[in-house]
């Protein structure tokens, strides 16, 4: 029986791992289906993590985190968790290999994943010219022209990254104002090889047997424009990874918002005793590395108190 099971090994889960183990819980396992680090490892640059100055990639930022946790006894099992349920006071962690682990407490930290924009050809050409990761795929378009879809922080930051590698970046956004931070918008506007294609919605990505050859956009005026590019990067927001909380009868284990985020209180407690949710998956998440890490610390301290109380009876 684990004292605590942590599901997900991004900034939130890793920080929960650090605080639960260092705070005295005996047996804590973090279940992470891939390499620990989370979605920030796909970011080319992070400049708002306090105390870290200069240019640093998400991968470099996250590199030391797992080692720090393991020093205090955190176990990492590289496996997907398919479901978390609760029977009496015991949580069941259903794993991808069909086995089940038991735990006194659970900290959910499964984060979020890139949303698909929904235009024609997006699925057909995904991985063959359509991408959601500039750091992963940008290099394939070195010296070529690409399109970026979206108007948030991710789209603009990744457009800036691509502009350093590619000949030209078409930044396609459906409005004429951006969600992104003002200084990022300014940097984009100052970058001579980024062309803003505003008030324009992607209609279709087209291509041939080799992959993408362009994207068709429709301006709010109704005008259609074909932009011939071999690569299209979409950054149109994220969906919460909440599938693990779905029970056999289709209901969620704990209270959720209509848009699928986990409802928590200020201590990261869900509606189920001993179950915590942190990082991008919880309600009102600021979706930042620093806040995900902060949530991890808060939930860990709560989990320690919860397990102490449970075992003292």
Q: Which does 244 bind (CB under 5 to 8 A by kind): ligand FAD, ligand NAP, none?
A: ligand FAD
Q: Which does 155 bind (CB under 5 to 8 A by kind): ligand FAD, ligand NAP, none?
A: ligand NAP
| Closer of 239 and 309 to ligand NAP (Cβ) | 239
- What gap in Å lies between CA 40 and CA 57, rounded to an integer? 9
Residue span 230-249 as binding mask against ligand FAD, x where in contact by CB under 6 A, dash where not: -----------x--x-----
Q: What are phi and psi of 205, to 5 degrees?
A: -100, 130
254 carries an active-site annotation: no
Site size for ligand FAD (CB under 6 A) = 34
133 carries an active-site annotation: yes
| Closer of 157 and 207 to ligand FAD (Cβ) | 157
Residue showing the smallest CB distance to ligand NAP in the complex = 152
In sign, the C-alpha dihedral spanning 91, 29, 298, 110 is negative
- What gap in Å lies between CA 82 and CA 86, rounded to an integer? 14
What region, left, alpha or beta, does residue 177 occupy, with left being phi > 0 and alpha being psi -120 to 50 degrees? beta
146 binds ligand FAD (CB under 6 A): no
Q: Which does 237 bind (CB under 5 to 8 A by kind): ligand FAD, ligand NAP, none?
A: ligand NAP
Task: Give the chain's end-to-end CA distance (angstroms, integer).
Answer: 16
Q: Which does 145 bind (CB under 5 to 8 A by kind): ligand NAP, ligand FAD, none?
A: none
Q: Where are the beta strands (DSSP E) in the chain?
A: 2-7, 28-31, 75-77, 81-87, 90-95, 100-108, 112-114, 130-131, 145-149, 168-172, 194-197, 200-208, 211-219, 224-227, 231-234, 238-240, 275-277
- What gap in Å lies between CA 257 and CA 187, rounded to an integer? 35
Residues at the contact surface with ligand NAP, assessed by CB under 6 A: 48, 117-118, 149-155, 157, 174-175, 179, 235-238, 287-288
- Determine which one of 3, 69, 133, 295 is catalytic: 133
107 binds ligand FAD (CB under 6 A): no
Residues contributing to the site for ligand FAD (CB under 6 A): 7-13, 31-34, 38-40, 42-43, 46, 48, 80-81, 109-112, 154, 241, 244, 279-280, 287-290, 292
Which residues are catalytically annotated?
A: 133, 136-137
């Amino acid at each position: 029986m684990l004292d605590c099971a942590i599901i997900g090994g991004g900034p939130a889960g890793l920080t929960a791992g650090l605080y639960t183990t260092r705070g005295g819980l005996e047996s804590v396992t973090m279940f992470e289906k891939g390499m620990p680090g989370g979605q920030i490892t796909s970011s080319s640059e992070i400049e708002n993590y306090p105390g870290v100055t200069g240019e640093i990639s998400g991968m470099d930022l996250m590199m030391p985190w797992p080692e720090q946790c393991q020093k205090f006894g955190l176990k990492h099992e590289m496996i997907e968790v398919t479901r978390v349920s609760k029977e009496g006071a015991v949580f069941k962690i259903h794993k991808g290999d069909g086995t089940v682990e038991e735990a006194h407490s659970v900290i959910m930290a499964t984060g979020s994943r890139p949303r698909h924009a929904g235009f024609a050809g997006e699925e057909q050409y995904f991985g063959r010219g359509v991408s959601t990761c500039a750091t992963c795929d940008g290099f394939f378009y070195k010296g070529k022209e690409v399109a970026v879809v979206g108007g948030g922080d991710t789209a603009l930051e990744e457009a800036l990254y691509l502009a350093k590698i590619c000949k030209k970046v078409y930044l396609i956004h459906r409005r004429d104002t951006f969600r992104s931070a003002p200084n990022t918008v300014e940097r984009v506007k100052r970058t001579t090889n980024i062309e803003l294609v505003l008030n324009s919605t992607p209609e279709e990505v087209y291509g041939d047997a080799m992959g993408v050859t362009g994207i068709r956009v429709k301006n709010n005026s109704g005008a259609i424009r074909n932009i011939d590019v071999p690569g299209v990067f979409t950054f149109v927001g994220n969906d919460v990874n909440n599938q693990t909380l779905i029970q056999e009868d289709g209901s969620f284990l704990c209270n959720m918002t209509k848009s699928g985020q986990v409802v928590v209180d200020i201590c990261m407690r869900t509606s189920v005793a001993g179950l915590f949710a942190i990082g991008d998956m919880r309600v009102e998440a600021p979706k930042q590395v620093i806040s995900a890490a902060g949530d991890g610390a808060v939930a860990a301290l709560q989990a320690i108190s919860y397990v102490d109380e449970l075992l003292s009876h």
